[in-house]
Amino acid sequence: MTSPDELTAADLHAALAAPVGAPFIGIVMLQTRFTRPLGDVGHPGTFDAPTRQLVVPGAVPRAVVTQAQTLRDSGLAEGFCACVELLVARGAMAITTSCGFLVLLQDQLQAAADRATGTPGQVPVVSSSLLQLPALLAQQPQVGVLTMDESALGPDHLRAAGVPADRLGDVIVHGLDATSHLAQTILNDREGLDLRQAQADVLALAVALKAAHPQLTDVVLECTNLPPYQAAIQQATGLRCHSLLTDTRLTASAAPAS
């Protein structure tokens, strides 16, 4: 896979005439430069299927990892929707994003995919791992969420993910320390990610969640930068981890290249 493309005004029109290739997962990316290790949604080897990426110009981490109204007022939704339409036109069999906070745009992004195909639901859009919460809550009294910014992830995000109003209190959200290496690297888009320190930051978060809420058995990794440490979380805490890597709407939609 080549490096991520940046969306241009002519892309959508050009894609309509492009030949359809092998099935792939389309990934709508934030504009970032930090390292993305294997397991991160932006790493080309993370999924057992080909991927293609499109970057939304101006969608830097702090513009998206923010309060719900701030994101809605940012004007970025149009760019994300255009990327979805373009990826569908290029032949995507499923679409995801590189930030779980984009669950706020789930309905708009799915509508963009439906416009591109003319058939509702033909190409599923899975904007966030948070979309797995309703099914998990149907099986568990409470579910944990590990996020990049606990102060920004609020009820609007959970409702957009389909969490019933009477179950909002059953979602236990814990966020990275804002001063931690991983949070500072991601939110400030810094180069030079220290993978060992990043894992230590994530494990400290997961262990604290389990210690505070020992009844929890399942946790959703909201942030797409957390799955590289998923196995370590499970080993350290016993928590079952759910992320975009475990969402069958993605893994079952695009078959590996032959």
Distances (CA, A) of 31 to 6, 44, 90, 146, 250: 9, 16, 21, 22, 22
Position 257 in a domain:
no
Instruction: Report residue 253 as tokens.
Output: 């939609």
- The amino acid sitting at 28 is V
Q: Are residues 34 and 52 in the same domain?
A: yes
Position 238 in a domain:
yes
Q: Are residues 31 and 89 in the same domain?
A: yes
Q: Which of 132, 163, 148 is nearest to 245 (CA)?
A: 132
pLDDT per residue rounded down to tens, the chain (258 residues): 334 666 554 454 444 444 456 789 999 999 999 999 999 999 999 999 999 999 999 999 999 999 999 999 999 999 999 999 999 999 999 999 999 999 999 999 999 999 999 999 999 999 999 999 999 999 999 999 999 999 999 999 999 999 999 999 999 999 999 999 999 999 999 999 999 999 999 999 999 999 999 999 999 999 999 999 999 999 999 999 999 999 999 977 645 544
CATH code for position 240: 3.40.50.1860
Q: By three-state DSSP, how is residue 123 classified?
A: coil
Instruction: Report residue 57 as tokens.
Output: 């110009």
CA distance 82 to 216: 39
**Which residues, 6+ apart, have CB-to-CB distance to 34 below 8 Å?**
185, 186, 189, 190, 191, 193
Q: Are residues 43 and 118 in the same domain?
A: yes
Q: Are residues 116 and 64 in the same domain?
A: yes
What is the domain count for the chain?
2
Lookup result for tokens 């290739």: 21
Q: Are residues 153 and 123 in the same domain?
A: no
Q: What residues does 92 pair with on adjacent strands?
A: 24
**pTM summary value:** 0.90
Position 124 in a domain:
yes
* Domain with 159 in it: 129-244
Instruction: Report residue 198 as tokens.
Output: 């990043």
Position 234 in a domain:
yes
**Which residues, 6+ apart, have CB-to-CB distance to 177 below 8 Å?**
183, 201, 204, 205
Lookup result for tokens 């990610």: 193
CATH code for position 29: 3.40.50
111: exposed, middle or buried (Cβ count in 10 Å: 0-12, 13-18, 19+):
middle
128 and 149 Cβ atoms separated by less than 8 Å: no
- The amino acid sitting at 119 is T
